[in-house]
């Protein structure tokens, strides 16, 4: 143990998670176009990592006060170098994978062409497409060495170097063309007679029309190289009492666009003099921020790669299933009055959440609706239902989190719409994000005021509900909902700390309650009673809870963990964690639920939660973990957890050597792909 570290650094663990995403892009069993999209997810993840986590470590490294802070045995400076080296390796691997995918696409009669491969019969289409769709949207800046210019965006752009004729005063002119975000990155050309499908990158379409863009320059040669800049995305909220909280968030989001650059990905073919010129214009002094790349960046655009009318190159669809015993045509509130229901999206239809709120908006017996909102889809039926309720005279209270990273502008827009409709808005508590996923309504039933509601592990977002797996518990359990209502009371009057018998609520009780639950398993094991812990999490980074799980392992408690993302815990270390096993499942859907299962001497305690085992979720956010009391629903959670645990197709072993080793079927075992078997599980329930 003396030579074995107790923890994995969270940044390095995150990069290991993103390597699992890259594995999917490299898996020949994944449909070809889905592999391209996984490559886009990998790239998008990396962009956000640099905007948030890398930027934080860099600030610490540059701070004279905290620059020597240690991250799991590393200084901030050493960690930055380790991250950079690991990212370069992952970027190189992703480029090899992309080139391999391109070759396979050619075998499927799909071809990428650049500006030098355009056929005569394609010229007219490309010219018209460029003139009508692209040229009007281009932002082209002629760069000057002698004046300040606004390059303050998180964008990919082409840096243009033109060599002029000898009569010109300047031999070289530099220009910058921003790659428009609102134009499709992939130009799909009409199929030719032999059925070949050609695609051109928007970058190459622009290159192909340089003669039109720069027609007034008499250049002898022209070169273009892709660059991508990533800036620090941390919000800086000024302590200015003269402006509203909404204004502070709005101003801070705008300031994000001119924050310090943390990464510059550049085409390795760019000349040293051009790269140096760009670095000066962007005020980048350190080469630590430089990441060499290929001809094309902004690979996150592959997330939206067109389907090309090729269903054979895509995942088969999973039509969302109805909830057994609950029809979208019946009155949901009356049904919930009889029993609890558990929704597991996207296997089951997220429309039940919308239906619940639409009913509440129209039902004359409903008096009030309270809900927390973290992320909404761009066109949100949730928001529409709440506005509808307010217009129908219901008292509607919405806690909307304006600091939901990268969704701030969207949430501000919805806040304005809700407020205009008469919805009462609250913006939470200074220093705490509200990340809980809760809703409670009050309704007259048999001349009594009765509560109905739902608690979820995921956002109330129709878009992500199609690709994120999440549980939502619909309940009329008055004891639970009384405590859900207490959470809203705390959000409105935060100096009054509530007590809870059923819910586990951050920031006050999560750490202590989870520790007590683990202690209970340790005591039960010592007494020879049934014990065990099963956890499904997105991330685990909180060292005290990691230590508590180590303590349980050392006492002999068996611990199963399914962790999608960051895992600072090291399993399988003799004398420390030999009773802990950690796997990660990465597949078609993003695994998002948080589930806590404690054996509790045979009387299992099962919770659904919005909180991961992270310090921010435990100390700096308002989170809710809700017990599931219905035995049938408990069994569903146990069954679906076990289906994930038995995955031997898309599961990886975490924090063992080698990292991310695939779990494969053993001799005599059949292949188990948990997302497919989970869908089959719920489909069978409809027929039973």
**Model confidence pLDDT, tens digit, residues 24-83:** 999 999 999 999 999 999 999 988 888 778 878 877 777 755 545 666 667 888 888 899
- DSSP, collapsed to helix, strand or coil, labels residue 423 as coil
The span from the CA of 684 to the CA of 216, in Å, is: 68
pTM of the model: 0.88
Quick check: is 297 catalytic? no
- Using one digit for the tens of pLDDT, what is the confidence trace for 568-596? 999 999 999 999 999 999 999 999 999 99
> According to the model, what pLDDT value does residue 161 have?
87
CATH number of 116-231+264-297: 3.30.1840.10
The span from the CA of 633 to the CA of 630, in Å, is: 5
Per-residue confidence band for 186, with pLDDT thresholds at 50, 70 and 90: very high
* Cβ pair 506, 631 in contact under 8 A: no
Whether residue 364 is predicted with pLDDT greater than 50 in this model: the reply is yes
- What is the share, in percent, of the chain residues with pLDDT greater than 70? 89
Pairing of strands 156-164, 172-178: antiparallel
| Tokens matching residue 501 | 């018998």
- DSSP, collapsed to helix, strand or coil, labels residue 65 as coil
Of the listed ranges 152-166, 197-211, 518-532, 584-598, the least confidently predicted one is 152-166
| Tokens matching residue 164 | 């002029």
CB-side exposure of 112: number of CA atoms within 13 Å? 17
* Interior angle at CA 264, CA 259 and CA 265, nearest 5: 145
Cα–Cα distances in Å, from 68 out to 79, 486, 589? 11, 43, 40
- DSSP, collapsed to helix, strand or coil, labels residue 20 as helix
CB-side exposure of 209: number of CA atoms within 13 Å? 23
Per-residue confidence band for 409, with pLDDT thresholds at 50, 70 and 90: confident
- Using one digit for the tens of pLDDT, what is the confidence trace for 130-152? 999 999 999 888 887 666 655 55
* Cβ pair 174, 277 in contact under 8 A: yes
* Interior angle at CA 234, CA 238 and CA 286, nearest 5: 115
DSSP 409-462: HHHHHHHHHHHHTT-EEE--BTTBEE---EEEEEEEETTEEEEEEEEESS-S-T
- Using one digit for the tens of pLDDT, what is the confidence trace for 435-453? 999 999 999 988 899 999 9
The span from the CA of 557 to the CA of 549, in Å, is: 9
> 570: phi > 0 → left, psi -120 to 50 → alpha, else beta; which?
beta
Pairing of strands 468-475, 341-345: antiparallel
* Cβ pair 177, 87 in contact under 8 A: no
> According to the model, what pLDDT value does residue 377 have?
79
Partners of 387 in the β-ladder: none
> According to the model, what pLDDT value does residue 241 have?
38
Partners of 578 in the β-ladder: none
Q: Which of 209, 225, 297, 435 is catalytic?
A: 435
Alpha-carbon torsion 303, 307, 313, 315, what sign? Answer: positive
The span from the CA of 564 to the CA of 595, in Å, is: 12
DSSP 509-567: THHHHHHHHHHHHHHHHHTT----EEEEES-B--HHHHHHHHHHHHTT--EEEEESS-B
Of the listed ranges 128-137, 173-182, 230-239, 380-389, the least confidently predicted one is 230-239
Whether residue 262 is predicted with pLDDT greater than 80 in this model: the reply is no
Partners of 560 in the β-ladder: 534, 581
> According to the model, what pLDDT value does residue 258 have?
42
| Tokens matching residue 494 | 């935060």
- Using one digit for the tens of pLDDT, what is the confidence trace for 522-560? 999 999 999 999 999 999 999 999 999 999 999 999 999
> 536: phi > 0 → left, psi -120 to 50 → alpha, else beta; which?
beta
The span from the CA of 17 to the CA of 590, in Å, is: 12
- DSSP, collapsed to helix, strand or coil, labels residue 396 as strand
Q: How many CB atoms lie within 10 A of CB 21?
A: 22
The span from the CA of 414 to the CA of 82, in Å, is: 41
- Using one digit for the tens of pLDDT, what is the confidence trace for 438-497? 999 999 988 899 999 999 999 989 999 999 999 999 999 999 999 999 999 999 887 778
Considering the chain, what is the average pLDDT of its residues? 88
* Cβ pair 480, 633 in contact under 8 A: no
- Using one digit for the tens of pLDDT, what is the confidence trace for 302-340? 999 999 999 999 999 999 999 998 988 889 999 999 999
Query: What is the arrangement of strands in the sheet containing 186-188, beginning at the earlier edge strand?
Result: 110-113, 197-201, 186-188
* Cβ pair 337, 452 in contact under 8 A: yes
- Mean pLDDT computed over 613-631: 96
Q: Which residue has the tokens 């009913």?
A: 359
**Helix (H) or strand (E) run with residue 47 in it:** helix 32-49
The span from the CA of 51 to the CA of 302, in Å, is: 20
- DSSP, collapsed to helix, strand or coil, labels residue 473 as strand
- Domain 504-687: state its class: alpha beta
Whether residue 660 is predicted with pLDDT greater than 70 in this model: the reply is yes
> According to the model, what pLDDT value does residue 563 have?
98
The span from the CA of 11 to the CA of 49, in Å, is: 9
Question: What DSSP designation does 432 have?
Answer: B
Domain ranges in the chain are 7-108, 116-231+264-297, 332-492, 504-687
Q: Which residue has the tokens 């003269």?
A: 242
Task: Tell me the CATH number of domain 332-492, given options 3.30.870.10, 3.30.70.2700, 1.10.3720.10, 3.40.50.620.
Answer: 3.30.870.10
CATH number of 7-108: 1.20.58.310
List Cβ neighbours of 500 (8 Å cut-off, separation of 6 or more): 483, 486, 509
* Cβ pair 682, 321 in contact under 8 A: yes
Pairing of strands 290-293, 341-345: unpaired
The span from the CA of 20 to the CA of 651, in Å, is: 10
> According to the model, what pLDDT value does residue 255 have?
42
- Mean pLDDT computed over 386-407: 83
- Mean pLDDT computed over 191-196: 86
Would you mind telling me the total number of residues written for the chain in this entry? Answer: 688
> According to the model, what pLDDT value does residue 156 have?
73
> According to the model, what pLDDT value does residue 84 have?
86
Are both 116-231+264-297 and 332-492 of the same fold? no
Considering only residues 131 and 180, tell me which one the structure prediction assigns the higher pLDDT. 131
| Tokens matching residue 200 | 């051109």
> According to the model, what pLDDT value does residue 521 have?
98
């Amino acid at each position: 143990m003396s030579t074995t570290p107790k923890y994995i650094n969270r940044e390095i663990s995150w990069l290991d998670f993103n390597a699992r995403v890259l594995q999917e892009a490299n898996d020949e069993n994944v449909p070809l176009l889905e592999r391209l999209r996984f490559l886009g997810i990998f790239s998008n993840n990396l962009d956000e990592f640099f905007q948030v986590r890398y930027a934080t470590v860099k600030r610490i490294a540059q701070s004279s006060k905290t620059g020597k802070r240690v991250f799991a045995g590393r200084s901030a400076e050493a960690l930055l170098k380790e991250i950079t080296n690991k990212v370069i390796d992952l970027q190189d691997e992703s480029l090899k994978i992309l080139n391999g995918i391109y070759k396979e696409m050619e075998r499927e009669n799909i071809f990428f062409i650049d500006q030098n491969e355009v056929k005569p019969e394609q010229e007219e289409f490309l010219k018209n497409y460029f003139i009508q769709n692209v040229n009007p949207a281009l932002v082209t800046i002629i760069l000057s060495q002698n004046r300040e210019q606004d390059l303050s965006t998180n964008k990919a752009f082409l840096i243009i170097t033109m060599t002029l004729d000898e009569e010109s005063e300047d031999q070289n002119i530099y220009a910058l063309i921003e790659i428009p975000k609102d134009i499709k990155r992939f130009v799909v050309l009409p199929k030719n007679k032999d059925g070949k499908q050609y695609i051109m990158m928007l970058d190459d379409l622009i290159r192909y029309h340089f003669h039109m863009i720069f027609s007034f320059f008499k250049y002898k040669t022209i070169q273009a190289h892709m660059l991508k800049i990533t800036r620090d995305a941390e919000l800086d909220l000024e302590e200015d009492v003269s402006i509203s909280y909404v204004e502070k968030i709005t101003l801070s989001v705008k300031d994000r666009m001119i924050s310090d650059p943390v990464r510059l990905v550049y085409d390795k073919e760019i000349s040293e003099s051009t790269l140096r010129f760009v670095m000066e214009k962007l005020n980048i002094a350190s080469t630590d921020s430089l990441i060499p790349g290929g001809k094309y960046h902004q690979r996150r655009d592959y997330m939206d790669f067109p389907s090309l009318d090729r269903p054979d190159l895509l995942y088969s669809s999973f039509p969302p299933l109805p909830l057994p015993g609950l029809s979208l045509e019946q009155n949901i509130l009356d049904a919930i009055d009889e029993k609890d229901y558990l929704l597991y999206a996207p296997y089951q239809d997220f429309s039940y959440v919308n239906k619940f709120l639409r009913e509440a908006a129209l039902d004359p017996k409903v008096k009030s609706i309270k809900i927390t909102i973290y992320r909404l889809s761009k066109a949100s039926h949730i928001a529409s239902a709440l506005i509808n309720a307010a217009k129908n005279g219901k008292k509607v209270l919405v806690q909307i989190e304006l600091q939901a990273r990268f969704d701030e502008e969207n949430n501000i827009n919805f806040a304005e719409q809700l407020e205009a409709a008469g919805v009462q808005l609250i913006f939470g508590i200074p220093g705490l994000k509200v990340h809980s996923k809760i809703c409670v309504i009050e309704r007259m039933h048999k001349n009594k005021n009765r509560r109905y509601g739902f608690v979820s592990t995921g956002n109330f977002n129709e878009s992500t509900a199609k690709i994120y797996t999440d549980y939502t518990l619909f309940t009329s359990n008055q004891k639970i909902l009384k405590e859900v209502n207490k959470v809203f009371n705390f959000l409105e009057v935060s100096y009054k700390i509530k007590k809870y018998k059923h819910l586990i609520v951050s920031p006050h009780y999560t750490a202590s309650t989870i520790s007590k639950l683990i202690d209970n398993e340790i005591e039960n094991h010592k007494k020879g009673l049934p014990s065990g812990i099963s956890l499904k999490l997105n991330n685990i980074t909180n060292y005290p809870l990691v230590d508590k799980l180590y303590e349980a392992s050392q006492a002999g408690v068996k611990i199963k963990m399914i962790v999608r993302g960051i895992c600072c815990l090291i399993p399988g270390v003799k004398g420390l964690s030999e009773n802990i096993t950690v796997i990660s499942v990465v597949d078609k859907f993003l695994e998002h639920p948080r589930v806590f299962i404690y054996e509790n001497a045979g009387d299992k305690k099962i919770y659904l939660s919005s909180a991961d085992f992270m310090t921010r979720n435990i100390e700096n956010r308002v989170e809710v973990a809700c017990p599931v009391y219905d035995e049938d629903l408990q069994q569903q959670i146990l069954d679906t957890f076990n289906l994930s645990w038995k995955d031997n197709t898309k599961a990886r072993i975490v924090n063992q050597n080698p990292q991310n080793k695939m779990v494969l079927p053993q001799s005599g075992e059949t292949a188990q792909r948990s997302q497919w078997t989970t869908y089959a599980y719920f489909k069978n329930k409809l027929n039973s």
